Each structure stands twice: as structure tokens, then as C-alpha cells.
Amino acid sequence: MKNIVLASTSALFGEEYLAYLKPVIADLFSNIDEIIFIPFARPNGISHHDYTKKVVDTFSVLGIRVSGLHTFADPASAIREAKGFFTGGGNTFLLVKTLHKQHLMNVLKDAVEQGAPYLGTSAGSNIGGLTMHTTNDMPIVLPPSLTTMGLVPFNLNPHYLDPDPDSKHNGETRETRINEFHTQSSTPVIGLREGSWIRVKGETITSEGLFNSRIFEQGKKAYEVEPGTLLRF
């Protein structure tokens, strides 16, 4: 049974790393004492080692040991044998390129679909969707494919921002970009505001968190769903 959390962000403004998600993490990884962390997105260029240490320190409070995937001589075997996973935020292009280059995307997908609990934040949530086409990140590298794990039947836009009516910024809004995506694809997109997440238990998928999520479907006007809403497309 799939057991997944796909969150918009790792930390709310002014809070410690993963603080708002700790009750969710404790539930997701209940009865699990060790997970693998996938550090490949490297936010702000942080090294795999330093990124993993940050996660190790945070999860130690919850009584969960963490090993970085980059430390294994055979990462595919490590994924197959792992009890659970966390993929952190950063640059989705770099994360996806690394997973595809090491032939790990489908290995990770299989492990999660077979029941290993999975936590994603930001870029780590993007790869839970069908593709990474709706990321906000700059294409600092070129992945061989934009296809991701497809753990849910839609794409995500973490860190979704509503237009600011008082802003003098003339650039495109997130909604504009997603509408552009829907000229090319019929894949639904969920805009995840900070503090919101997607919860998957088996075949049941719900929107959760502190705020509504914004739903975009091709040919329809965007609409809001409250936390706890069952998502079906």
C-alpha cells in the first residue's frame, strides 16, 4: 500500500527545518527506525554530505536514523532494501538528471509503490508527479527525461504563489505558467501553497495542510480545495 507525503516546502518562514511537518513525519514513518535520504537536489549548492547531516540532525530527534543515498556503493540495492525515503528540496532539474543518470528513478518508484513510506518536499515532491514540467526551478542541467515517478496521477507546483494585486512586477504569475503548460498537456496540476501537502494512503489521495490548494485542469477554470479534500481526476 502506498504511504506518501508530498509537501510544498521543507520549512515555513521563520521556523526550523521540517518543524511544521514533524507530526506528519512521525505518522508517516511510525514503527520505522531508519530511512534513506536522497540529497541530489542540493539547494543553494550545498554538498551531499552537508545536506544529509542537516537531515540526520533533524530526524534524530524523532528517533530515526538517516543514511544519504550518495554513500552507498550500490544505490539501487540500497533503495530496494530501504525501509523508507525522504527526498529534499532544491533544484528539480539536477535531482531528476541524477536519478535518471544513475538509473534510480524507476527503482525508487517501485520501492514506494510496494509500500516503503516516502516523504518529499519541494523538488522531492515534484518527482512524485507524472513529470517535472511544472517545477519553478531554473534548468541548470539537462535531464535525459522530464518523466518522474508518477506516484500520483497529476503534476505538482510546490511553493505556489497567488498573484499580488499590489505588486508592480510585470512578469508571468504561477497561474499563467500553468495555463501555458495546459496548452500542451492535459495533466492536472495542483498548486501547493507553503504549509500544504498531498497525502497518499493506498489509492486514497487527499489535500492536506494549513491552506487550500489550487487545482488546474485543462479547459477548466482553476478552483480551490480545502484540506482534507479527496482528490480524483
pLDDT, tens only, 25-74: 999 999 999 999 999 999 999 999 999 999 999 999 999 999 999 999 99
Examine residue 231 and state whether it is found in any structural domain, yes or no: no
Is there a domain that residue 232 lies in?
Answer: no
Q: What is the CATH number of the domain that holds 141?
A: 3.40.50.880
Place of cell 536522497: 38
Residue 233 lies in a domain: no
| pLDDT for position 181 | 98
Has residue 230 been placed in a domain? no
Q: Is position 85 within any domain?
A: yes
Q: How far apart are CA 216 and CA 154, in angstroms?
A: 10
pLDDT band at 169 (very low <50, low <70, confident <90, very high): confident
Within a domain: 21: yes
Q: Give the pLDDT of residue 91.
A: 98
Full domain range(s) for residue 40: 3-225
pLDDT given at position 62: 92
* C-alpha dihedral sign at 79, 84, 90, 93: positive
Give the pTM. Answer: 0.96
- Each residue's pLDDT tens digit, 119-163: 999 999 999 999 999 999 999 999 999 999 999 999 999 999 988
Determine, yes or no, domain membership for 179. Answer: yes
Of 213, 194, 176, 191, nearest to 89 by C-alpha is 194
* pLDDT higher than threshold 90 for residue 172: no
Average pLDDT, the chain: 96
- Known catalytic residues are 122, 137, 159
Q: Which of 13-22, 76-85, 109-118 has the lowest mean pLDDT?
A: 13-22
Segment 164-181 mean pLDDT: 85
Which residue bears the cell 550518495? 70
Confirm whether 202 is domain-assigned: yes
Instruction: Mark 153-183 as b/e (b = at least 16 C-beta within 10 Å).
Output: ebbbbbbbeeeeeeeeeeeeebbeebeebbe
Comparing CA positions, the residue from 158, 155, 161 lying closest to residue 176 is: 161
**What's the number of domains the chain is made of?**
1
Helix, strand, coil content of the chain in percent (nearest 5): 30, 20, 50
Sorting pLDDT into bands at 50, 70 and 90, what band is 168? confident
Q: Please determine, for residue 167, whether its predicted confidence score (pLDDT) is greater than 90.
A: no
